[in-house]
Amino acid sequence: MALIADYLVQGCQMLLILLLAPLLTGWVRTIKARLLRRRGPSVLQPYRDLFKLLRKEVVLADSASWLFRVAPYLIFAALWVAAALVPTFASGLLFSWTADLIAIVALLGTARFFLALAGLDVGTSFGGIGSSREMMIASLAEPAMLMMVFTLSLLAGTTELSSVARFMLTAEVGLRVSLALALLALVMVAIAENARIPVDNPATHLELTMVHEAMVLEYSGRHLALIELGASLKLLLYLSLLGCIFAPWGMATAGAGLTAYLIGMTIYVAKLAFGGLLLALFETSIAKMRVFRVDQFLGAALMLGLLGTLLLFVSRSL
């Protein structure tokens, strides 16, 4: 009985993030529109877009191969599993030990690998430009992310996210320089990985500096829907990660009962809304940078992460 309940809660979390992801995207878009003094579409617009795309037929380029058709499912599956492994409203769920934070970073890498390949598949120059730039950005963002993981793991003594979240709630954490550096590095990586301003512009289609949108240019119909949903899931994943590590308050523990779960969910949604608000504020207040500035931006993130780790290697109290 208890086991069934555990499975149910785990399933609930998977469905919850899938349902919340487009809402988060819509929320950020709405706030951005308001900040620019536009009315903007409804918060629910991403759902409508997804349903419309799902019902449309797919137009495949003549030179597209089987990989092009399989990739969206693979990308979606990898991103969904990765996002489901981040604790959201409760920590220590049934399968939370399946993969630690390093494995979650690597799962994001799997999704990126296939997305970049899909960009090259049709054989157009837009797809190629997107793929090659995405891999360049990732080659700096991934190590920066792993350095952040190192910092956390040295502090908490684990790379398991549930245990990290539990550790962060204990009194011995306090304010630390290394944590501040890790937070900064993670935010910078999150901005780059989610193709947000100033690294990439999620709203453009006709700019030579675009990265993510260039890779998915040839996709249409249900394939595009899956990729868009995947992108929303990735944004949700990074916000959940920030919430789970740096603001783990209000998170229920496994087996805490229905009310605790409901409270946890409300707090989680509030955290997401706040994170989305900050992201929209940041995006409207900054200009996009040239593509070959991105390496300096992410190089700084990598150095911050490395500095945080070094501090902890030197002394556990920093």
Partner 1 sequence: MSLPLLLSLAMALFAVSAYALVASRRPGCSRQVYSLALAVCVILLGMALAHLLAGQTSATLTLPLGLPWLGAHFRLDALAAFFLIVVNLGGAIASLFALGYGQHEQAPERVLPFYPAFLAGMNLVLLADDAFSFLFAWEFMSLTSWALVMAHHQEPANARAGYLYLVMACFGTLALLLAFGLLAGPDGGYDFATIRAGTVNPGFAALVLALALLGAGSKAGLVPLHVWLPLAHPAAPSHVSALMSGVMTKVAVYGFIRIAFDLLGEPIMWWWGGLVLALGGVTAVLGVLYALMQHDLKRLLAYHTVENIGIIFIGLGLALAFQANQMYASAALALTAALFHILNHSLFKSLLFLGAGAVLTATGERDMERLGGLIHPMPWTALAFLIGAAAISALPPLNGFVSEWLTFQAILISPELPQWLLKFLVPAIGALLALSAALAAACFVKAFGITFLGRPRSPAAAGARETDRYSLSALFVLAALCLLAGILPGLVVDGLAPVVSLLNGGAQLMAQHDQPWLTLVPVVDVKSTYNGLLVLLFMALSGTAAALLIHRLASNAARRGPAWDCGFPEANSAFQYTAGSFAQPTRRVFGSIVFQARERVTMPPPGDLRPARLEVEMHDPIWERGYAPIAAAVVALSGRFNYLQYLTIRRYLSLVFGVLVLLLLGMVLWR
**Which member of 43, 47, 158, 300 binds partner 1 (CB under 8 A)?**
158
Q: Return the SS3 of 173.
A: coil
| In the complex, minimum distance from the CB of residue 223 to partner 1, in angstroms, rounded to a whole number | 9
| Among 157, 258, 274, 317, interactor with partner 1 by CB under 8 A | 157
Structure tokens at 41: 């579409």
Q: Residue 75 CB, nearest distance to partner 1 (Å)?
A: 9
Nearer to partner 1, 274 or 313 (CB): 313
| Least distance from partner 1 to the Cβ atom of residue 198, Å | 17
* Residue 147 interacts with partner 1 (CB under 8 A): yes or no: yes
Q: Return the structure tokens found at 308.
A: 């945080």
CA distance from start to end of the chain: 45
Kindly state whether residue 154 participates in binding partner 1, applying the rule CB under 8 A.
Answer: yes
Coil, helix or strand at residue 211? coil
Nearer to partner 1, 42 or 139 (CB): 139
Stretch that binds partner 1, among 115-123, 170-178, 255-263, 267-275 (CB under 8 A): 115-123
3-state secondary structure of 308: helix
Considering only residues 122 through 141, tell me which ones interact with partner 1, judged by CB under 8 A.
Answer: 122-129, 131-133, 135-136, 138-141
The sign of the dihedral angle between the CA atoms of 146, 151, 152, 158 is positive
By the rule CB under 8 A, 16 interacts with partner 1? no
Question: For residue 205, what is the DSSP state?
Answer: S
18-57 footprint of partner 1 as x/- string (CB under 8 A): ------------------------------------xxxx
Tokens 């829907």, residue?
A: 225
Nearer to partner 1, 63 or 266 (CB): 63
**3-class secondary structure for 204-273?**
CCCCCCCCHHHHCCCCCHHHHHHHHHHHHHHHHHHHHHHHHHHCCCCCEECCCCHHHHHHHHHHHHHHHH
Residue of 7, 34, 36, 63 interacting with partner 1 (CB under 8 A)? 63
Any contact of residue 71 with partner 1 (CB under 8 A)? no
Task: Select from 12, 33, 103, 269 the one that contacts partner 1 (CB under 8 A).
Answer: 103
Does the protein bind partner 1 through residue 291 (CB under 8 A)? yes
Contact set for partner 1, span 228-287 (CB under 8 A): none
Q: Provide φ and ψ at 175, rounded to 5°.
A: -90, 130
Distance CA 196, CA 222 (A): 24
Question: Closer CB to partner 1, residue 86 or residue 141?
Answer: 141
Q: Which residue in this structure is represented by tokens 């360049």?
A: 136
Per CB under 8 A, 200 contacts partner 1: no
HEC secondary structure over 121-143: HCCCHHHHHHHHHHHHHHHHHHH
3-state SS, residue 204: coil
User: With binding defined as CB under 8 A, does residue 150 bind partner 1?
Assistant: yes
Residue 218 C-beta: closest distance to partner 1, Å? 6
How many chain residues interact with partner 1 (CB under 8 A)? 90
Burial of 197 by CB count in 10 Å (0-12 exposed, 13-18 middle, 19+ buried)?
buried
Residue 20 structure tokens? 């919340």
Q: Does 295 help bind partner 1 (rule: CB under 8 A)?
A: yes
Nearest to 233 by CA among 48, 72, 92: 72
Closest to partner 1 by CB, 76 or 268: 76
Cβ neighbour number for residue 294 with a 10 Å cutoff: 21
